[in-house]
Structure 1
Amino acid sequence: MPLESTGSDADITPGSDAPLINRELIFGLILLAPILFLAMGPMLGLSIDAWLDTRTNRVLQLLFTSILIITCGHSIFSRGMKSLFSGHLNMFTLITIGVTAAYIFSATATLFPSFFPKEFHDPRTSLVHSFFDACAVIIVLVLIGQMLENLARVKTGSELRSLLSLAPTTARLVSEHEEKDVPLHDIHPGDHLRVRPGETIPVDGTVTEGTSFVDESFITGEPSPIMKKTNDEVVAGTRNGRGSFILIAEKTGSETLLARIITLVRTAQRSRATVQKMADTVAGVFIPIVLSIALATFIGWLLLGSHPSLPYAIVSSVSVLVIACPCAIGLATPMSIIVGIGRAAREGVLFKDAKSLETLGRSKRLMIDKTGTITAGCPTVTDIVLLGNQTEQEVLSFAAAIELKSEHPIATAICQASHKHNLKPLQKADSFLATAGNGVEGTVGGKSVGLGNEAFLKKQQVPSKELADFQKAAKPFRASGKTITGVVIDHRIAGLLAITDPVKPGAQSAIRQLKHLGLTVTMLTGDHSDSATVIARSVGIDHYKASLTPQEKHRFVTESHARGEQPIMVGDGVNDAPALAAATVGIAMGTGSDVAIETADVTLIRGDIQLLPHAIELSRTTLLNIRQNLFLAFFYNVIGIPLAAGILVPVLGSGWQVTPIFAAGAMSLSSVLVITNALRLRTATICSSTNQLTL
């Protein structure tokens, strides 16, 4: 419900009460017309008194207003009463008290005018002043405000709904004897599904038969369809082109990438930012303060106001109750968060929670992994240098056999090189052991085999002369930025593999933008310092640390924490998981391992490094929007409440008396203003190449 968003659990999505509010508003507008006609007709020069006496006029106002309150104000008053009985005071508390006070006074003045002293009676009509028009207008304006907020909320959830719309409800199940459409919830891993031309792929899986082009733009950002053939992976929510193919389901339901993205976005949008705690604290004491101010206003005008003072006291105190808007304070942060996270998801950045979105923009220190983050993560073996008695085919075959059980990108490159050379696979390794950040070892065909970096070779206790020969052979390759992996067979160095991993096309631009944003960028890598130097210089990184183990990366991040630097860590592999977890904000490349993505606070689902400065600027823009909203909310209440109390009337005259009708309009517009400002985030210009934020 829009107007009671003063607590941490405020719903920031369109409520199920929207149809009720719309019906109440339509009926309220119909009833408001005769009330305003009767109350304000004479002021507009309409000769109502010629055919309707003033007392009957007032009774009709009472009748229409009573019907409007009962029918159209039901949702407002029921929430107001619940808040009073529960002690959780909110916007409806103030509206209920204010409208009730004005209505009771007006009804009493209409039905029992003799209760009031003569000085309260209008000499022209002999009637006591009433506020029926104010009561009616307040209720209608509140309903209009709720309707506008609901419309705005529909826009804030558009990104999430667009993701939900990608998921089909049925799938074409292929069995031995037939094909049939079945509900998606009946599909399980291992089922074979046919995807026909133009259909949306229902599950994550692998193509087993057929070819087609698939639109994966919502994940990859690539507008051109991508060809899919046998053994290629496909993702739920992507759209098939003109071809037809059969896939085997691997991840279904909540396990698909699309479902995980939707869950992550929904959870993040409901989370609370640190800055919201301050707003919640203020909102929690706001209502009692407003009630106290309204009571003080009533007493002050009653004792010190112009004669007759009671109408002035009622007008001012009701205006204070109605103009106060804690909902604007309560909405200021969550509305910006939901719009910011929604836009980020639309553009390929997934925030785990609101705190991550808030913190990312504040950090000035960024640490970034090399492989798969700065480089493409698609390494290839370019050279094989023999340092022992084995042949090139033997070295590559043993290397591929030991790497079959590894998921590291370098392992994939070695296995692909073996396949490219048409080498028959040796038996799989026994006693396989992977040392994160160093290498792998095991037994292949009775021989002890190990692959790894220079630190790994030293632990294998190879002869010092062989290690020196390895270092000499590796030097020219490292000078060109290649990664070197040594192959050890029975504790003797058999050779080395030179592996290249090209720098991502946008890496240099991304690093330049990060520097423009004022961040100090440091590359952390397990690779040799010679290779690291080449890569760092090619993309414009001035600071780097090489030959690091995962534990050393973790320690480097924690030391930065201890210096109060709020470090950001960016990585994509299992090796990066400890550092990602230790960072103030961990950012994982979506093309990386599940462990890294699960550990991270932010995921770049396309693995595009150019999204990194964009995500940081979006975070800063969202923080700026939150500050703007909080300023608008506090400024409105700080100015509006004293004006409603009549603080300027003694100095500037009765023309500065804020009426309940004006107060109701201002109250409704204040929360709409906050939401509208938050919605500007959806189209705010993110100037990634400069340090400028444009809202």
Structure 2
Amino acid sequence: MPEQDSPLILDIDGMTCASCSTRLERVLGKVEGVEAANVNLATEKATITGSAGVEQLLAAVKKAGFEVRPAAPVELTIEGMTCASCSGRLERVLGKQAGVTAASVNLATEKAHIEILPGTRTEDLIAAVRKAGFDAKPLQQQSAGQSSIATSNKRDDEARLYRRDLLIAAILTVPVFILEMGGHLVPSFHHWVNQTIGQQTSWLLQFVLTSLVLLGPGLRFYKKGLPALLHTAPDMNSLVAVGTLAAWGFSTIATFLPQLLPAGTVHVYFEAAAVIVTLILLGRLLEARAKGQTSSAIKHLVSLRPQTARIVRDGQLIETQLAEVVNGNLLEIRPGERIPVDGEVVEGSSYVDESMITGEPIPAQRQPGDTLVGGTLNQTGALTMRATAVGEDSVLSRIIQLVEQAQGSKLPIQTLVDRVTLWFVPAVMGLATLTFVIWLIFGPDPALTFALVNAVAVLIVACPCAMGLATPTSIMVGTGRGAEAGVLFRKGEALQRLESSAMVVFDKTGTLTEGKPALTDLHSHGQFDSQQVLAAIAALELKSEHPIARAIVTAAEQQQLTLPTLLSFNSLTGMGVEGQLQADGESFQLLLGADRLMQQQGIDISPLQQTAEQLAQQGKTPLYAAVNHQLAAVLAVADPIKETTPTAIQALHAMGLQVAMVTGDNQHTANAIARQLGIDQVVAEVMPAGKVDAIKQLKQSLSSEQQLVFVGDGINDAPALAAADAGMAIGTGTDVAIESADVVLMSGSLQGVVTAISLSQATMRNIRQNLFWAFAYNSALVPLAAGVFYPAFGLLLSPALAAGAMAMSSVFVVGNALRLRRISL
């Protein structure tokens, strides 16, 4: 098997508790060639990196007592086959490829159906086909989110199966419970049973009904639990299997061979075994239903995709399947319809609800030239658009991929849980054995009965399911809720880091401001004419895409100025620009930049320095222009502050966070903006390469536990985003910088920063609540089940109540995680 270029993800069947996922993670980690293995109980996936072969990994999973769900078959369309020998040869070629279990090639339909092992790449199969002299392409590709939908559907199927088995178990268990426990609750009922059917017949009925429960709905626990126990790797199923078999076995001996038991210990506990299985099935049903809801965000995102689109072709409208739309197609969108793919408005005007992409509740106006995002809702007008990104390249698909990626991640806090659960089940087995021995030796009569009942209670109550579900369920719900609010956690670990945020550092242009500067002032000096200087500067900046350059060119266009001819152009990184121009047959040199450029070139700026400082104090960015090394003018460009910026900064201060700004503007301009917005610290006159040093400098003012967050545009600020403890990229529309940040904010609004930090705090609080419940539950109930409180208070925990408590523990944890879906952001 070739080395894995990307992580291999296996879908695992059979995991039921945290000890399962931890044990499998340990087993996979020992396979030769595995660099890292991460097993997630909530998503039921194992992510493996390294060069280990798929066959080795599958064998390891099976040896650990679990199963790998087979990958979906690959369907290829084949080109170039002319006879049966072609299809036969291609069938043999495909059958020999690593990871292929079966291959069938149909000459008539020109298709290949290939059964594969997980991790087998379609690209490798296509390459093999081409090497054999044919051409191939996938018949259809699974779109983003389908994996999560499949998992959700699997859980729905599980819930239906549990519902059926629970019903059967309950019908069989109720008579057993009434026959045995009815006499304890109502003494006269006990006498009535003995007088009518007799105690022995009652026990025989209980034996038959309980055996049906254990061998029917409860058989799953023995199929998985006993082999795991034999492999010295017990899991939750092992605890249930041993506990119920102990109760059933003791009761069976008491029923059929009572002479083998000591005097006074002949009792039956059939009802305990039956009730344990029934209550655990109830817990599994509730858990499966609740876990199915953790993927609701992805299911909702997937549902935003329309199934069809209307293509404009030769003046005619043709309705077609969405998969058939390609880039460049013209599409018609009517009011009330969802935008089918990403694209650009060609004709028409409308308001589009983009809330499910950006989190912004106010519809955005879209006119010719504006971008549209697939999945958003067209509201008022008809639009004609040109498709620019379809399928997996669309923003919606990338969002779904990000959410799925974050949901499968493991937070640092999970490491503690893994260490505990690794030894938890074996420790419980040992504790149950110790409980049995101590009660048997020191317990009151009948000691054997007390020993058995308390040991079974310990086995049942101590299942670590809740521990294993505490973190991943909260991550799944939290990241899904973030996606609904336009906050995408590219890395799940950012959820934990953001909670400890102490300082938020903003880039200025395009982050705090609109990123669309406008020329506000131009003061010429000496003999230079303002319009001639503006025309020369506009000619110099004409080909630049920098926002300040665009502002100057736009101002010249508005005044309809005739621009000189640009002969040469040179960008001076972090300083400004220079160029050689020609007007009226004369050439001249033009310099444009900040005061530091003029000082470097030895140009005296004192005549206009006071004017520049006044402009800077107004929050504008002053620039100097020099013609042939003579000061010609000072001009000012202002970038409007975003409407949401002041509110967001106030909210961050209310959360107790410091706010800082890093900018290339001069100190006066930066200080003016900082005063206007209430920013605590300013690092000004920073060149692009110096932002990382600025972040390191600001980080020094924080303690080791405190985290620094940097917010930028995600493209020019990539080094700074990586240098911060957590980086947030501001995205607008289709400009999603997913590779440079830990968190992507789909909206240009800075309220997304507040939302991300608030969501992080809520999610981590939720995780700690879950972990507290899981650990406190076991800490409190295991001693009670072992009988620690019996000598002083006479308290014991029956196996049936232990089963109910164990089942409810997992349901509580998942239910608590689901509360994140309702938090207000």
Normalising by structure 1, report the TM-score. 0.89
The structure 2 residue matched to 1:4, chosen from 4, 11, 17, is: 17
Equivalent residue for 1:601? 742
Written as runs of structure 1 = structure 2, the 5 A alignment for 1:611-690 is 611-653=752-794, 656-684=795-823
Task: Give 1:594 shift.
Answer: 5.1
Structure 1 residue 170 and structure 2 residue 313: aligned? no
Deviation at 1:282, TM superposition (A): 0.7
Shift of 1:137: 1.0
Distance between the aligned counterparts of 2:678 and 2:343, measured in 1?
39
Opposite residue 17 of structure 2, the aligned amino acid is: E
The one-letter code matched in structure 2 to 1:93 is S
Give the Cα separation in 2 of the matches to 1:441 and 1:141: 79
- Aligned counterpart, 1:586: 727
What residue is the counterpart of 2:94 in the other structure?
none
Q: Which amino acid aligns with 1:36?
A: F
Q: Deviations over 1:205-237 (max 9, x none)?
A: 111122222222224444443332211111111
Separation of aligned partners in 1, 2:563 and 2:334: 37
| Distance of aligned partners of 1:280 and 1:59 in 2 relative to their CA distance in 1, 3 Å threshold | same
SS in 2 for 1:367: strand
Superposition TM-score, scaled by structure 2 size: 0.76
SS at match of 1:33: helix
| Structure 1 residue 108, shift from structure 2 partner | 2.8
- 1:477 corresponds in structure 2 to 615
Partners of 1:405 and 1:645 lie apart in 2 by 80
Secondary structure of 1:274's counterpart equals: coil
Correspondence for 2:241: 96
Matches of 2:572 and 2:327, distance apart in 1? 29
> Secondary structure of 2:780's match?
helix
Partner Cα distance (2:160, 2:538) in 1: 64
Distance 1:456 1:603, change over 3 A: farther
C-alpha distance in structure 2 between counterparts of 1:160 and 1:451, whole Å:
50
Answer whether contact 1:39 1:133 (CA < 8 A) is retained.
yes
Q: Tell me, what secondary structure is at the counterpart of 1:207?
A: strand
Residue of structure 2 in register with 1:113 after alignment: 258
Task: Give the 5 Å matches for 1:54-453.
Answer: 54-81=199-226, 83-84=228-229, 88-120=233-265, 128-176=266-314, 178-387=316-525, 395-397=533-535, 399-400=537-538, 403=541, 406-422=544-560, 433=571, 435=573, 437-440=574-577, 451-453=592-594
Q: Are 1:23 and 2:127 matched, yes or no? A: no
Farther off after superposition, 325-334 or 154-163: 154-163
Q: Distance in 1 between matches of 2:525 and 2:763?
A: 57
What CA distance in whole angstroms lies between the structure 1 residues aligned with 2:440 and 2:271?
23
Matched letter for residue 224 of structure 2: R
Per-residue deviation, residues 381-433 of structure 1 (Å, max 9, x unmatched): 22233458776555555545554554443344334434434457888997675
- Distance of 1:250 and 1:426 partners within structure 2: 37
Partner Cα distance (1:161, 1:595) in 2: 21
CA distance in 2 between counterparts of 1:306 and 1:274 reads 47
Q: Which amino acid aligns with 1:682?
A: R
How far the C-alpha of 1:112 sits from its partner, in A, is: 2.7
Structure 2 residue aligned with 1:691? none
Q: Identify the range of structure 1 (20-29 vs 539-548) with the bigger mean alpha-carbon deviation.
A: 20-29
Corresponding letter in the other structure for 2:170: L
How far, CA to CA, are the matches of 1:307 and 1:223 in structure 2? 70
Q: 1:128-182 CA distances to partner (integer Å, 9 max, x unpaired)?
A: 3122111111111111112222232233332232222212232222223643233
Quote the residue 2:197 is aligned against.
52
Number of residue pairs the alignment of both structures matches: 673
Q: Structure 1 residues 614, 243: CA separation in 2 closer, same or farther (over 3 Å shift)?
A: closer
Against the structure 1 CA distance between its residues 131 and 546, is the aligned structure 2 distance closer, same or farther, given a 3 Å change threshold?
A: same
Query: How far does the alpha carbon of each residue in 1:609-634 deviate from its partner, in whole angstroms, 9 at most, with x for none?
Result: 23323322332232222222211111
SS in structure 2 of the partner of residue 570 of structure 1: strand
What does the per-residue CA deviation read over 1:573-630, in whole Å, with 9 as the maximum and x for residues that have no partner? Answer: 6442211110001122223995855311122221222332332233223222222221
SS at match of 1:248: strand
Counterpart-to-counterpart distance in 1, 2:545 and 2:738: 15
**Aligned pair 1:518/2:531, yes or no?**
no
Amino acid paired to 1:4? C
Mapped to 1, the partners of 2:722 and 2:402 lie a distance apart of 17
Aligned residues of 1:577 and 1:595 also touching (Cα < 8 A): no
Contact 1:457–1:486, Cα closer than 8 Å, also in 2: yes
Counterpart contact for 1:2–1:146, Cα < 8 Å: no
Give the distance between the partners of 1:476 and 1:663, measured in 2 at CA: 76
CA 1:240 to 1:430, structure 2 compared with 1: closer, same or farther past 3 Å? farther
Tell me by how many angstroms 1:544 deviates: 0.8
Deviation at 1:480, TM superposition (A): 1.0
CA contact 1:5–1:11 (8 Å) conserved in 2: no
Q: Say if 1:296 and 1:536 are closer, same or farther in 2 by CA, change over 3 A.
A: same
Q: Is the 8 A contact 1:432 1:443 kept in 2?
A: no
Deviation, 1:635, is 1.0
* Aligned CA distance change for structure 1 residues 27 and 475 (closer, same or farther; 3 Å): same
Q: 2:721 touches 2:740 (CA, 8 Å); kept in 1?
A: yes
CA contact (8 A) 2:714 2:741 kept: no
Q: Distance between the aligned counterparts of 1:342 and 1:210, measured in 2?
A: 34
**Counterpart Cα distance in 2 of 1:312 and 1:184:** 67
Structure 1 Cα separation of the partners of residues 551 and 654 of structure 2: 35
* Structure 1 residues 423 and 298, CA gap change in structure 2 (3 angstroms): farther
% same residue: 41
Distance of 2:387 and 2:248 partners within structure 1: 65
The alpha-carbon distance between structure 1 residues 508 and 213, as it changes in their structure 2 partners (threshold 3 A), is closer
Aligned partners of 2:683 and 2:694 also within 8 Å:
no
Instruction: Give the conservation status (yes or no) of the 8 Å contact 1:571–1:588.
Output: yes
Q: Residue 510 of structure 2: SS of its match in structure 1?
A: coil
Could you tell me how far apart the structure 2 residues matched to 1:21 and 1:228 are? 49
CA contact (8 A) 1:550 1:578 kept: no
- Measure, in 2, the Cα distance between the counterparts of 1:239 and 1:674: 36
Q: Which residue of 1 aligns with 2:63?
A: none
Equivalent in the alignment of 1:693: none
Instruction: Decide whether the 8 Å contact of 1:402 with 1:432 is kept in 2.
Output: no
CA distance in 2, matches of 1:78, 1:429: 82
* TM-aligned CA distance change 1:91 to 1:449, over 3 Å: farther
Which shifted more, 251-260 or 391-400? 391-400
Greater Cα shift, 219-228 or 629-638: 219-228
Change (3 A) 1:418 1:222: farther
Residue 458 of structure 2 contacts residue 782 of structure 2 at CA under 8 Å; is this kept in 1?
A: yes
Q: Which runs of 5+ in 2 are unaligned?
A: 1-13, 22-38, 44-150
Which of structures 1 and 2 has the larger relative contact order (alpha carbons within 8 angstroms, sep 6+)?
A: 1
Distance 1:668 1:591, change over 3 A: same
